[in-house]
Chain A
Amino acid sequence: MNGTPTTLGLTGEEWLSIALTAELAGLTTIILLVLSAPLAWWLTRTGSRWANAVSALVSLPLVLPPTVIGFYLLLALGPQGAVGGTLERLGLQHLAFSFTGILIGSVIYSLPFAVQPLREAFAAIDPRVLDAAATLRASAWDRFFSVVLPLSRGGVLTAVVITFAHTVGEFGVIAMLGGNIAGETRVVSIAIYDHTQALEYGAAHRLSAVLLGFSFLTLLAFYAINQRVMSPVRPQ
């Protein structure tokens, strides 16, 4: 809208959407690591008959159109929804069209991208290593942090990079739930859509180039690190 580029050829508004996207992707990644590590661990080790159902639930965002997730979240988080309505009755704000709302959306949307690499890494750990640690009286927590995580660092790194990148590339859920609000929900992908629709091709080009560059460099770094980190860690 204000068309004059400032820093590095981008306008203040464009930087705002880039910063917001980084914030959203960063927070989503942190939250998902914390949530996914125990979930992936449970899925790897459990013999529970619920495991398949939970796996299916976790993978749902892979196959569901983002519009479906966005629509249900809009219903749930909005002022009339179960979550949003409860918050309003407690004198708080509902979550539709807010940063917290799209953060919840991103966590759900990127969940399989965090769980899957961790699960694969955990599954590759030889159980005898853990038994050995247990005989040395390492507690469950101790085993997880000093044995499992270091052995899974390739998987953790994959989860971090892919979750972050996937959240940066998110569009549909935020389009349904976000309301295109600068500094709050107008992430880069939404800003590009908005600029295109408003016939602001210059801005659309600039931001698209930023995302293209970012995505390529992220994947390049990912493959480079993968080659170096993953292979020696794999138990023989």
Chain B
Amino acid sequence: MNNVCILKEAGLRQMVAAALFTCAALPPVAQADTARIAAASDLKFAFDELKPLFEKANPSHKLELVMGSSGKFMQQIENGAPFDVFFSADVTMPKKLVDSGKAVAPVTPYALGRIVLWSAKVDATKLTLKDLDRAEFRKIAIAAPDHAPYGARAKEALVNTGMWPKVKSRIVLGENISHTAQLVDMQAAEVGVIALSLALNDQLARKGAYHLIPEDLHSPLEQAYAITHHGKNNAAAQAFADFMRTPPARQVMKRYGFLLPGEKVR
């Protein structure tokens, strides 16, 4: 049944739906050995590349990627969402989930992220945060600081440069960091603070350049993952966590500008 039909559990739902819809033409949904990964959206392009690499190296395992803000995932996992691994954009949130019993220790650091100024309208390589009060920047996009770590660091950097009070009224908030990139990409905002890992992908690199925001302007974007309570017996979840430590995976992460555990600060 699982191979021909999207229905999963027996019961009323299946009976009525099976009577309603012929499922034969629908694509298969793998169940065994599928790990559902909740990943912070700065990982979007890197994980899109890692998924086929992982599945090729582990033919019995499959990944299902769901991208979003770390804060949203924390809230959802807290409320019982069926994710197997949580790749957060910070360390605090997976730790909190371990404390509340929704994830299992250890909380493993996997990357250090960076934020950049990016624009599809002007050449951002020539910009610094100090330029953001220029009149041409009517809207400045950052991720929501309350639940997106990249947004929290962006705000921190703006506060530390003394720019926050000057640009506060022009700030628009993306729900997560790739949504923030989308706002700038569509030029709804003239400029934005996004993840280096997103700015390095072709899709965005074609349209605009970036300025790396100095690390000393914000606390480090140390990112960690934890296997959730839901995923603790999932072989694919463990295999993917292990895979992140392998050279091919590290190579992809490096290409997206992440500093990896065991590496020196540039």
Q: Do A and B come from one complex?
A: yes
Query: In terms of DSSP, what is the predominant structure of the interface of chain A?
Result: helix
A 1-48 contacts with B by CB, 8 A: 1, 12-13, 15-16, 19-20, 22-23, 26-27, 30
> Would you call B8 an interface residue if the criterion is a C-beta within 8 Å of the partner chain's C-beta atoms?
yes
Contact of A180 among B8, B27, B66 (CB under 8 A): B66
CA distance A158 to B179 in the complex (A): 38
For B198, the chain A residues whose CB sits under 8 A away are 199
List 30 A-B pairs, Cβ < 8 Å: A1-B51, A15-B26, A19-B21, A19-B26, A23-B17, A23-B20, A26-B21, A27-B17, A30-B16, A96-B79, A97-B81, A97-B82, A100-B13, A179-B66, A179-B81, A179-B82, A180-B68, A181-B36, A181-B82, A182-B29, A183-B6, A184-B8, A197-B41, A197-B67, A197-B175, A197-B179, A198-B178, A199-B44, A199-B185, A199-B198
> Would you call A78 an interface residue if the criterion is a C-beta within 8 Å of the partner chain's C-beta atoms?
yes
Number of A interface residues in the complex (CB < 8 A): 34
In the complex, besides A181-B81, A197-B67, 8 extra interface pairs with C-beta distance below 8 angstroms are: A16-B29, A19-B6, A27-B20, A30-B20, A179-B76, A179-B81, A180-B66, A181-B66
> Would you call A109 an interface residue if the criterion is a C-beta within 8 Å of the partner chain's C-beta atoms?
no
CB distance from B167 to the nearest CB of A (A): 23
Interface pair B27/A199, CB less than 8 Å apart: no
For B6, the chain A residues whose CB sits under 8 A away are 16, 19-20, 23, 183
CB distance from B177 to the nearest CB of A (A): 10
> Would you call A74 an interface residue if the criterion is a C-beta within 8 Å of the partner chain's C-beta atoms?
yes
Interface pair A96/B13, CB less than 8 Å apart: no
Interface pair A26/B80, CB less than 8 Å apart: no
Chain A's closest residue to B68 (CB) is: A180
Chain B interface residue bracket vs A: 35 or more
CA distance A13 to B176 in the complex (A): 22
Contact of B182 among A16, A79, A99, A199 (CB under 8 A): A199
> Would you call A119 an interface residue if the criterion is a C-beta within 8 Å of the partner chain's C-beta atoms?
no
Knowing A1-B65, A16-B6 are in contact, say whether A78-B20 is a contact too (CB < 8 A). no
CB distance from B71 to the nearest CB of A (A): 14
CB distance from B102 to the nearest CB of A (A): 10
Chain A's closest residue to B76 (CB) is: A179
> Would you call B181 an interface residue if the criterion is a C-beta within 8 Å of the partner chain's C-beta atoms?
yes
Knowing A198-B67, A199-B185 are in contact, say whether A23-B79 is a contact too (CB < 8 A). no
Interface pair B203/A103, CB less than 8 Å apart: no
> Would you call A84 an interface residue if the criterion is a C-beta within 8 Å of the partner chain's C-beta atoms?
yes
CB distance from B213 to the nearest CB of A (A): 21
CA distance A199 to B80 in the complex (A): 28
Interface pair B176/A84, CB less than 8 Å apart: no
For A146, the chain B residues whose CB sits under 8 A away are none
CB distance from A87 to the nearest CB of B (A): 11
> Would you call B64 an interface residue if the criterion is a C-beta within 8 Å of the partner chain's C-beta atoms?
yes
CA distance A84 to B41 in the complex (A): 29
CA distance A164 to B8 in the complex (A): 22
Residue in B80, B82, B181, B198 whose Cβ sees the most chain A Cβ within 10 Å: B80
> Would you call A196 an interface residue if the criterion is a C-beta within 8 Å of the partner chain's C-beta atoms?
yes
B 41-74 contacts with A by CB, 8 A: 41, 44, 48, 51, 64-68
Interface pair A27/B80, CB less than 8 Å apart: no
Interface pair A197/B178, CB less than 8 Å apart: yes
Chain A's closest residue to B64 (CB) is: A182
CA distance A79 to B178 in the complex (A): 30
Residue in A1, A27, A78, A197 whose Cβ sees the most chain B Cβ within 10 Å: A197
CA distance A199 to B207 in the complex (A): 13
Contact of B80 among A84, A180, A197 (CB under 8 A): A84
CA distance A197 to B68 in the complex (A): 9
> Would you call B163 an interface residue if the criterion is a C-beta within 8 Å of the partner chain's C-beta atoms?
no
A 47-95 contacts with B by CB, 8 A: 74, 78-80, 84, 94
Knowing A30-B16, A197-B178, A199-B44 are in contact, say whether A12-B80 is a contact too (CB < 8 A). no
CB distance from A20 to the nearest CB of B (A): 6
